[in-house]
Amino acid sequence: MVIQIPKETSPRPFLKWAGGKSRLIQQYIPYFPKSYKNYYEPFLGGGAVFFYLQPTTAILTDINTELINTYCCVRDNVEELISILKEHKNRHNKDYYYSVRNNYGGTNIEKAARIIYLNKTCFNGLYRVNSQGKFNVPLGRYENPNICHEELLRVASIALSHAEIQQADFTEVLNHATSSDDFVFFDPPYHPINNTSYFTAYSPNSFSKKDQELLRDTCAELASRGVKVMVCNSDSEFIRKIYTDINFESYRIKAARSINSNIKNRGMISELLITSFKDFYLPKQ
């Protein structure tokens, strides 16, 4: 089957994702490396950087099993996935949402369709699980949620067709990235900037200071091999210090904070973009 993609549809995230980088790409562009052959993204999430760069060779990983299954199904079985999403769209209402949210069975494709359906209809498109690993976000207030964006899913499937997609811990990138031909982009759970900003929605396990330090050590090992490393994180004293300790450069990026129960606490904040290299891509003026 030949998939027809409208020219105006470009690869971009098919999931809404807390902390997604779609709105920050333009600020990131000057800091991407000039050249590389192999791309690695160990905290895949919404995959905005992958979809923007469209590398010819990529290994995409995440600790979230359901997320990885969804990416694999978009890559390998997009038409069947679209068919199931159309059923969800036709049946969508409050009672149906909660019946789907509470149903964890089905085939891999049915599970992928469930994740996309819940993502498009839940509050703020938030992925959050409880201590038992069960999705627990309430229904959002959308008049006409775009549950089945067929063209976007098809173009995402094409972009993913040459990517290797795995469920893995971020440290496993050390088994693959070995040289200056490799570029690794890390988008980990951010270190909290205060006592109320801790957000651990993606898995029942929190990302602690020790995890941040393990990530730092992973970055240091990659850099020692010549691998080009880029990390984004909160603009906090702790994060600045641990990456200064390994001679990485930090750059401030302005980001919009949109997920907060108190609208007064939403707005522009500073984040860090941290790199092991200065061989930046500089767009033509």
On whether both 183 and 93 belong to a single domain, the answer is no
The domain that holds 130 is classified in CATH as 1.10.1020.10
Structure tokens given for 205:
């396990």
Are 253 and 201 found together in one domain?
A: yes
Domain end, chosen from 119, 154, 189, is at 154
Question: Which pLDDT tens digits describe the chain residue by residue (285 residues)?
Answer: 334 444 457 899 999 998 889 999 999 999 999 999 999 999 999 999 999 999 999 999 999 999 999 999 999 999 999 999 999 999 999 999 999 999 999 999 999 999 999 999 999 888 888 888 889 999 999 989 999 999 999 999 999 999 999 999 999 999 999 999 999 999 999 999 875 554 444 454 578 999 999 999 999 999 999 999 999 999 999 999 999 999 999 999 998 865 555 545 456 889 999 999 987 766 543
β-bridge mates for residue 250, sequence order: 274
Identify whether residues 252 and 238 lie together within a single domain: yes
pLDDT of residue 279: 79
Dihedral sign of CA atoms 113, 125, 29, 207 in order: negative
Same domain, 113 and 247: no
Give the range of the structural domain holding residue 120, as residue numbers without chain letter: 74-154
Nearest-CA neighbor of 41 among 59, 15, 17? 59
Q: Is residue 6 in some structural domain?
A: no
C-alpha 28/C-alpha 231 separation (Å) is: 11
In a domain, 5, yes or no: no
Using CA atoms, how far apart are residues 254 and 26, in angstroms rounded to an integer? 11
Q: How far apart are CA 77 and CA 2, in angstroms?
A: 14
Domain presence at residue 202: yes
pLDDT at 130: 86
**Nearest in space to 216 (alpha carbons), one of 165, 277, 148, 170:** 170
Total domain count for the chain? 2
Judge whether 242 and 213 are in contact, CB under 8 Å: yes
Determine the Cα–Cα distance for residues 140 and 92; give it in Å rounded to an integer.
Answer: 12
Residues 96, 218, single domain; the answer is: no
d(C-alpha 27, C-alpha 158), whole Å: 26
Give domain status of residue 281, yes or no. Answer: no
CATH number at residue 204: 3.40.50.150
84 in the same domain as 43:
no
- Predicted TM-score of the model (pTM): 0.90
Cα–Cα distance, 42 to 123 (Å, whole number): 26
Are residue 142 and residue 169 in the same domain, yes or no? no
Domain boundary among 107, 137, 154: 154
Residue 13 falls inside a structural domain = no
Residue 59 phi, psi (nearest 5): -120, 115
Identify the pLDDT of residue 152: 97
Q: Which helix (H) or strand (E) holds 71?
A: helix 65-76
Domain end residue (candidates: 154, 171, 195): 154
The DSSP-derived string for 76-126 is H-HHHHHHHHHHHHHH-SHHHHHHHHT---S-HHHHHHHHHHHHHHBGGG-
**DSSP assignment of 157-181:** HHHHTTEEEEE--GGGGGGT--STT
Are 138 and 228 contained in the same domain? no
Quick check: is 10 in a domain?
Answer: no
- Give the Cα separation of 128 and 145 in Å (integer): 19
Residue 130 shares a structural domain with residue 181: no
What is the per-residue pLDDT for 258? 57
Is residue 12 assigned to a domain? no
